Structure 1
């Protein structure tokens, strides 16, 4: 697995953001890959390296408390999703814009990595977004067989585990992954509101309404963690976004996809070109204007 060039970027609060840059020889644009909740950036290295081979410089990064940005122990570690938005994600988008110069800057956001883009202080610097399994996490939007799991997580596991462990021990509980307490508390509030983050975070509804970049939304029929109704529910809050939607089944891709599968190397010939072709078309459109 190619790791790219390790970078330590300075965030607005003085902390460091660990990122990796995958350089294209003559880049047609720059792509930031925004990770899903609790997923380390290394998961996206193969996709980032492939983008570089196709002519787009790519940046991956970790939110604080995850992957390269995780302390030896998360117990008592102070971080929330606001930190991820205002400092971690923002620092990478600012660096990507610097690298891009006048070339297009695209974000490929996976799940939460797509949800957060309209909230970034530099959201207007984003020229386009590919949302991979990006949508609401409201529990009632899931298929009924998932309701017991979601309710047990939000009403039992989270309230009990956070004060006892001092963080969310998701790996031990087989629920998402290990996360700082502040992150899990904030995300839980989102998931319990019908409008998800838009109904909870001050200014989020307005930020979503201001978003104006084109977006390709990719979703998957076997994704139990992001049903299509939740994709549509969140995207309904983006009235200014020009959205194209593609939905794939395992038969289309040549194997099971689920919530995580798009970024696995086995789909470099079936699913990855869908995102690349769309990004390249946006670049050609920018050159023509």
Structure 2
């Protein structure tokens, strides 16, 4: 395995991403791990290394304005969540098709990393997506643990904190993590709408979700303290052109006490979850991989 850290230029000249390549010699599959809101790519390293053990190459990255992809004071970064799809995820997809042209391409999207599939122009260049604990964020559908306080976050804490600091100081508040102001503003607006992003943004985004035609497997957890089953179903219902498979896991059924929203990528789940539930979804031999048009092959690094 060769670990390479490098900078990826997006089509927006003002934004670059820090990515990590876990290259496996002679791999036939490449897996992009798109992280959750506020979770740095380093948290997924052990899962990426495990993918290497299974013979696959893996790629992690930080959205612009998060983790290692912060290149200036956070209050000066104007990115929003739609741009994470339009520029960041788009750049990753184009990079994979240019640099791993003969490999089957999987996308493992954790939480917002699954949502962004509907906000990225070239999603259909992926062969298959697996979403992990990924649902809509409408607060009235959230799990009871989150619903108890999230209304205060969206209607008071977040707007006040952003107004005072110029960004969301999530690390200091022990909520989500530090985030750019525009991303946080967009997120709280979506979370107040019963149809989340597509409800707030309108028909153009609903149509973009509907245009996604890749197979999608949703893996979610009954003890997720943020996403209820209703959140999960709501998000995936927007992918009307995709073949969808929904897997709902009770931790007790795989010999675990708790998984929740932010724990599946920890290596304690190597055997019970990664091996038994995720790996079978990455071993689907019926997928025919897609080729990127030759005119789009060049990627600036």
TM-score scaled by structure 1? 0.94
User: Counterpart of 1:67 in 2: which secondary structure?
Assistant: coil
Quick one: which of 239, 259, 262 aligns to 2:261?
259
User: Counterpart of 1:136 in 2: which secondary structure?
Assistant: coil
Instruction: After TM superposition, give the deviation of residue 136 of structure 1 in Å.
Output: 0.5
User: Counterpart of 2:152 in 1: which secondary structure?
Assistant: helix
Counterpart residue number, 1:238? 239
Could you tell me how far apart the structure 1 residues matched to 2:255 and 2:138 are? Answer: 27
- Residues 276, 145 of structure 1: CA spacing in aligned structure 2 closer, same or farther, 3 A cutoff? closer
1:128 counterpart = 2:117: no
Alignment of 1:25-104 (within 5 A): 25-71=25-71, 73-104=73-104
- Structure 2 contact 30–58 (Cα < 8 Å) conserved: yes
User: Counterpart of 2:68 in 1: which secondary structure?
Assistant: helix
Instruction: After TM superposition, give the deviation of residue 70 of structure 1 in Å.
Output: 2.1
Could you tell me how far apart the structure 2 residues matched to 1:3 and 1:153 are? Answer: 42
Quick one: which of 261, 264, 268 aligns to 2:270?
268
Aligned residues: 286
- Residues 225, 19 of structure 1: CA spacing in aligned structure 2 closer, same or farther, 3 A cutoff? same
- Structure 2 contact 79–182 (Cα < 8 Å) conserved: yes
- Range with greater deviation from structure 2 (75-84 or 55-64): 75-84
Could you tell me how far apart the structure 1 residues matched to 2:18 and 2:146 are? Answer: 34
Instruction: After TM superposition, give the deviation of residue 253 of structure 1 in Å.
Output: 4.5
When the two chains are superposed, the root-mean-square deviation of aligned CA atoms in Å is 1.9
Alignment of 1:9-20 (within 5 A): 9-14=8-13, 15-20=15-20
Q: Deviations over 1:214-272 (max 9, x none)?
A: 11110111101111110011111112111112222222242310001110011111111
Larger RCO: 1 or 2 (CA < 8 Å, sep 6+): 2
- Structure 2 contact 38–176 (Cα < 8 Å) conserved: yes
Could you tell me how far apart the structure 1 residues matched to 2:40 and 2:84 are? Answer: 13
Could you tell me how far apart the structure 2 residues matched to 1:109 and 1:145 are? Answer: 23
TM-score scaled by structure 2? 0.90
Could you tell me how far apart the structure 1 residues matched to 2:2 and 2:165 are? Answer: 32
- Residues 280, 79 of structure 1: CA spacing in aligned structure 2 closer, same or farther, 3 A cutoff? same
Could you tell me how far apart the structure 2 residues matched to 1:53 and 1:147 are? Answer: 39
Could you tell me how far apart the structure 1 residues matched to 2:19 and 2:137 are? Answer: 26
Could you tell me how far apart the structure 1 residues matched to 2:107 and 2:136 are? Answer: 18
- Structure 1 contact 253–271 (Cα < 8 Å) conserved: no
